[in-house]
């Protein structure tokens, strides 16, 4: 057999990871003795085995050639002054050079045959035959959810040879892809893109869908398709849009008018399509466009000028001479504002001259009726007066210019907007008269308070307000009739309520749970009573807190007599005949008896746990607005639980009319803040509300409060309990997804909730599931909880469960073990609840265990005798859980508190924890907790929960 000698390209792609040349020559000799392989370094003597036209290019991949290349690239970087770091510059330039050479190499290789040298699994390297291709892969991306953790990740996908490939079937070495033993070259843009993704450290966003969308997906979607695999919730918006016109110029000669439509603040324009999709701060929105409304507006615009009917490009235009003829644009501009058409883009018009006159404002107080002011205001530019109504429309749409009757543009300066903008936007306007509450003056910075308004609130009050903010002295003595030693921050809260009441403004005390909001309020009521001993007070609260208020009033003062307005005492005349000063009722009673309770003009009205009225559309929320009182106070540790709109009903009770209508508040503040994270709107709302909301956290003011430790207490179900769980899950899953396929997620929310509840019951104890045949009685939580109770030693524990049946199972086990306990659920009379709380708190009481229904005992109760908390079946509303824990972690606690969430491993409870982590996306500036967990579930979330 004759000896056959061959030479092949030998790829060493591992070296590409270090950015160095990756090509050698493989010498293959076949003879009668066998096959001999020898690796030869790429240099002048071995380049002769490559085609002559290629040899010059391959010089770059030799050691000497690569060194020269780097030297030249470093010189280029030094001269370029591009601002790009040398490392990045070299990485990109080396890629360009080596990929160009590699493209030439691959194109010249006969039949695409080559060899490559890769690390072997047993150590060392393995040389084998491979193929090279000149085809360029097509790059896209997809989002996946990891089954073991539920975390999200973005991965590249490559389309080549008629197939899609992922990281599972692709090995990437820099710009080289190895797919099915064939090498392909990535384009420069694709290489830089996958390198960018590799450097992003995606794991930090794995449980934050919004951040992953914002930081990874949206930047990629600027150039690539990203398959989201329905892993992100779509927010659907439909309804009648707000019509608008965008003004701009064409070539400095034509006025262009583009019709637009605002769907809940999201602007849409262009040819009609059934849906419009967009992303805002990582949230996906789908707009279902209203063809009828859009068509009506287009017809309206076409009728504005004879030329428009012939213009079919989706926008309208006129020469500036034509627009000014017979003051057409001026008249049309005012007509649009009168017809409630928003006007955008005034700042884009340069053809119109600016008014040579500065803005001038005349302001006079016409009348002051209690806290309500009537003002006369006239805004003018020289002799040209601007309509207050039109100014309000323009300010609300963010415009800084107004078109005047002389065809000039009046400029609304920053100083003018800071001084008068709030008055115009929040006031009720009737020609030149603005009606506003006097409290609005507190939101204006001193330098921007109109001089005419400064006397509205006395200098004496302003002096006290400034001194209170400085916090260096006590301004208002606490009445001697208050039997408590108040902490410094509590004194400041009391003084704050007193100061606001002096100008007729309400106060929202939003201190953390356990910081003594009740005591501060009682001190305030005593202060008001000492000024008028005929005063009557009303307190509305959740039913579970009625007796708590009753006892706290008796505890802290003897001058106020409380009256519980319920049952046989539900008689207003009986209250007045009793000689009591404070009427205490539940929100339910307030709603039912609002006609009687709204007749009395109360000295002070208090809403405790005021987030209970956060939904503007409920009867309770509407009812509290009818309460008339000289002073108003709202108390809540979580005034905003779901979104910024939660604030509106509470502040509208405290400061009627201050924030305008609910629709105004929603468009001006809630939507821009919750959806767009608009920092300017956040700051504007904070300026509007800061004087009237006082929030202190435990970390800020209760530095002596002992440490609180929260932990997950993992529970492993027994084989019997796990088998029961899987059987029930399988049955529920089939039923739910059949319903989802037929009717969608929204129409199956109830069945989804019921399915979740049933699986949570199995986790607590299968006995709780009533419609299952012969369930096992095995309950890992019950067994582990009893072990903990038996080892309490000198400690006391609160045990919370949402399920009444679970509490009774714990009762039975405690009775069997001879353990004393107290037990409160929805069937426990309110009077008995307070007796048990008082007994448990009493020094020397040997009872160590208090069993409490989660939703009944999560607020108002003071149980500082306990220092252990067990949440047997944690709920998805973390605010409810936190309130339950804070029954013991509050002022008066002197022991470290340990709270445990009992979670069954590999169950729906663990997945709920994961979803909680993923869905916590609201800003802490205005939003504290999330409530609508079930309402936010997508089909993908449901699949994750029941997989």
- What SS3 string covers 723-788? HHHHHHHHHHHHHHHHHHHHHCCHHHHHHHHHHHHHHHHHHHCHHHCCCCCCCCCCCHHHHHHHHH
Tokens 């663990």 belong to 910
Within 10 angstroms of residue 618's Cβ, the number of other Cβ atoms is: 14
What is the pLDDT, as a whole number, of residue 774?
56
Coil, helix or strand for 115? strand
What is the pLDDT, as a whole number, of residue 787?
80
Q: How far is CA 749 from the centre of its chain?
A: 22
pLDDT greater than 90 at residue 756: no
**Strand arrangement, sheet containing 163-165:** 163-165, 152-160, 138-145, 226-227
- Taking the model in full, what pTM does it have? 0.62
Q: Do 822 and 840 meet the contact criterion of CB atoms below 8 Å apart?
A: yes
What is the pLDDT, as a whole number, of residue 445?
59
Three state DSSP letters for 502-555: HCCCCEEECCCCCCCHHHHHHHHHHHHHHHCCCCCEEEEECHHHHHHHHHHHHH
pLDDT in tens, 396-415: 888 889 999 888 889 898 88
Within 10 angstroms of residue 68's Cβ, the number of other Cβ atoms is: 13
What is the pLDDT, as a whole number, of residue 399?
87
In 333-417, where do the E strands start and end?
342-344, 359-369, 372-381, 384-386, 401-403, 409-411
pLDDT in tens, 546-576: 887 998 899 899 999 999 999 888 999 999 9
Distance CA 570, CA 133 (A): 88
Q: Phi/psi of residue 292, each to 5°?
A: -60, -50
Spatial CB neighbours of 249, under 8 Å, sequence gap ≥ 6:
255, 256, 348, 349, 350, 351
Strand-pair category, 582-586 with 562-564 = parallel
pLDDT greater than 80 at residue 855: no
What is the pLDDT, as a whole number, of residue 11?
92
Q: Do 745 and 934 meet the contact criterion of CB atoms below 8 Å apart?
A: no
CA distances from 229 to 145, 248, 356, 919 (A): 9, 39, 57, 18
Instruction: Name the residue with higher pLDDT: 745 or 663.
Output: 663
Coil, helix or strand for 870? strand
Helix axes 86-108, 188-198, angle to 10 degrees: 130
Helix axes 546-556, 517-531, angle to 10 degrees: 60
DSSP 417: I
What is the pLDDT, as a whole number, of residue 928?
35
Percent over 70 (pLDDT), the chain:
94
Coil, helix or strand for 208? coil
Within 10 angstroms of residue 474's Cβ, the number of other Cβ atoms is: 14
What is the pLDDT, as a whole number, of residue 370?
79
pLDDT in tens, 128-175: 999 999 999 999 999 998 877 778 899 999 999 899 999 888 999 989
Distance CA 783, CA 715 (A): 10
pLDDT in tens, 39-59: 888 888 888 888 877 888 888
Give the model's confidence band at 268: pLDDT under 50 very low, under 70 low, under 90 confident, else very high: very high
Strand-pair category, 170-173 with 176-179 = antiparallel
Burial code (b: 16+ CB inside 10 Å, e: under 16) for 438-454 equals: bbbbbbbeeeebbeebe
Give the model's confidence band at 448: pLDDT under 50 very low, under 70 low, under 90 confident, else very high: low
What is the pLDDT, as a whole number, of residue 776?
78
pLDDT greater than 60 at residue 921: no
Enter the tokens of residue 135.
Answer: 């085809």
pLDDT in tens, 347-367: 888 888 888 889 999 999 999
Mean pLDDT, to the nearest integer, of 233-251? 90
The alpha carbon dihedral of 855, 856, 862, 867 has a sign of negative
Distance CA 634, CA 689 (A): 13
Distance CA 29, CA 25 (A): 13
By residue count, the chain amounts to 947
What is the pLDDT, as a whole number, of residue 820?
92
What is the pLDDT, as a whole number, of residue 164?
93
Q: Phi/psi of residue 685, each to 5°?
A: -70, -35
């Amino acid at each position: 057999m004759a000896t056959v000698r061959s030479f092949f390209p030998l790829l060493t792609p591992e070296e590409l990871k270090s950015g160095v040349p990756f090509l050698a020559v493989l010498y293959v000799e076949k003879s009668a003795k066998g096959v001999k392989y020898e690796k030869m370094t790429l240099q002048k003597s071995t380049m002769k085995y490559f085609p002559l036209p290629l040899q010059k290019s391959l010089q770059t991949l030799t050691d000497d050639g690569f060194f020269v290349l780097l030297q030249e690239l470093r010189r280029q970087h030094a001269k370029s002054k591009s601002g790009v770091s040398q490392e990045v510059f070299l990485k990109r330039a080396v890629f360009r050079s080596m990929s160009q050479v590699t493209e030439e190499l691959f194109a010249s290789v006969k039949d695409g045959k080559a060899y490559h040298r890769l690390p072997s699994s047993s150590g060392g390297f393995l040389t084998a035959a491979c193929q090279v291709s000149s085809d360029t892969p097509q790059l896209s991306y997809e989002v996946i959810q990891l089954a073991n953790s539920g975390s999200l990740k973005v991965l590249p996908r490559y389309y080549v040879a008629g197939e899609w490939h992922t990281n599972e079937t692709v090995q990437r070495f820099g710009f080289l892809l190895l797919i099915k033993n064939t090498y392909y070259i990535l384009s420069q843009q694709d290489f830089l893109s996958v390198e960018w993704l590799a450097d992003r450290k995606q794991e930090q966003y794995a449980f934050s869908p919004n951040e992953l969308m914002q930081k990874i997906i949206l930047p990629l979607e600027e150039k690539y398709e990203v398959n989201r695999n329905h892993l992100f919730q779509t927010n659907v918006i439909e309804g009648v849009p707000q019509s608008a016109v965008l003004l701009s110029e064409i070539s400095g000669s034509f006025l262009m008018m583009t019709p637009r439509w605002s769907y809940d603040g999201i602007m849409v324009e262009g040819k009609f399509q059934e849906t419009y999709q967009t992303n805002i701060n990582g949230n996906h929105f789908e707009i279902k466009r209203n063809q009828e409304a859009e068509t009506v507006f287009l017809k309206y615009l076409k009728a504005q000028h004879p030329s428009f009917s012939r213009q079919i490009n989706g926008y309208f235009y006129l020469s500036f001479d034509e627009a000014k003829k017979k003051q057409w644009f001026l008249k049309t501009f005012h007509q649009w504002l009168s017809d409630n058409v928003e006007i955008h883009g005034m700042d884009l018009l340069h053809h119109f001259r600016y008014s040579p006159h500065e803005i001038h404002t005349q302001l006079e107080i016409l009348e002051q009726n209690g806290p309500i002011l009537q003002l006369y205001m006239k805004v003018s530019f020289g002799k040209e007066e601007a309509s207050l109504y039109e100014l309000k429309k323009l300010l609300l749409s963010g415009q800084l210019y107004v078109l005047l009757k002389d065809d000039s543009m009046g400029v609304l300066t920053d100083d003018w907007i800071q001084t008068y903008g709030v008055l115009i936007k929040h006031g009720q306007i009737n020609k030149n008269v603005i009606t506003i509450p006097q409290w609005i003056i507190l939101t204006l910075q001193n330098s921007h308070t109109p001089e005419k308004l400064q006397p509205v609130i006395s200098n004496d009050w302003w002096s006290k307000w400034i001194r209170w903010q400085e916090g260096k002295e006590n301004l208002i003595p606490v009445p001697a009739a208050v039997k408590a030693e108040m902490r410094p921050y509590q004194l400041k809260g009391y003084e704050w309520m007193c100061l606001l009441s002096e100008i007729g403004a309400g106060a929202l005390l939003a201190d953390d749970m356990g910081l003594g909001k009740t005591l501060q309020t009682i001190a305030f009521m005593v202060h008001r009573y000492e000024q008028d001993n005929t005063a009557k007070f009303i307190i509305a609260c959740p039913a579970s807190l009625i007796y708590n208020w009753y006892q706290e009033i008796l505890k802290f003062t003897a001058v106020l007599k409380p009256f519980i307005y319920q049952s046989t005492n539900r008689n207003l005349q009986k209250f007045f005949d009793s000689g009591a000063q404070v009427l205490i009722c539940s929100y339910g009673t307030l709603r039912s008896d609002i006609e009687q309770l709204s007749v009395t003009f109360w000295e002070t009205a208090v809403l405790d746990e005021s987030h209970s009225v956060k939904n503007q559309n409920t009867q309770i929320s509407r009812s509290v607005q009818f309460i008339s009182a000289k002073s108003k106070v709202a108390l809540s540790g979580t005034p905003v639980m779901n979104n910024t709109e939660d604030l509106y009903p509470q502040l509208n009770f405290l400061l009627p009319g201050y924030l305008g209508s609910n629709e105004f508040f929603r468009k001006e503040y809630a939507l821009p803040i919750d959806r767009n994270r608009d920092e300017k709107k956040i700051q504007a709302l904070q300026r509007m509300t800061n004087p009237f909301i006082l929030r202190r956290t435990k970390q800020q003011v209760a530095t002596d409060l002992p440490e609180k430790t929260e932990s997950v207490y993992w529970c492993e179900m027994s084989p019997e309990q796990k088998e029961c769980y899987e059987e029930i899950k399988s049955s529920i899953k089939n039923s739910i997804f059949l319903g989802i396929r037929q009717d969608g997620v929204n129409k199956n929310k109830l069945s989804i909730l019921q399915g979740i509840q049933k699986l949570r019951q199995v986790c607590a104890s299968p006995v709780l599931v009533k419609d299952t045949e012969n369930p096992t009685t095995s309950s890992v939580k019950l067994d582990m909880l009893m072990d903990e109770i038996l080892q309490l030693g000198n400690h006391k524990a609160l045990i919370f469960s949402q399920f009444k049946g679970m509490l009774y199972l714990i009762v039975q086990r405690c009775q069997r073990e001879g353990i004393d306990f107290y037990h409160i659920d929805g069937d426990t009379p309110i009077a008995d609840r307070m007796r048990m709380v008082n007994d448990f708190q009493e020094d020397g009481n040997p009872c160590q265990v208090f069993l409490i229904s989660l939703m009944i005992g999560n607020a108002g109760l003071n149980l500082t005798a306990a220092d252990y908390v067990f949440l047997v079946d944690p709920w998805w509303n973390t605010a409810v859980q936190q309130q339950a824990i804070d029954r013991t972690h509050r002022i008066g606690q002197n022991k470290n508190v340990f709270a445990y969430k009992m979670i069954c491993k590999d169950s729906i409870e663990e997945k709920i924890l994961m979803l909680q982590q993923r869905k916590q996306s609201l800003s802490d500036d205005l939003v504290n907790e999330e409530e609508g967990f079930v309402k936010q579930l997508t089909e993908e979330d449901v699949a994750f929960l029941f997989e």
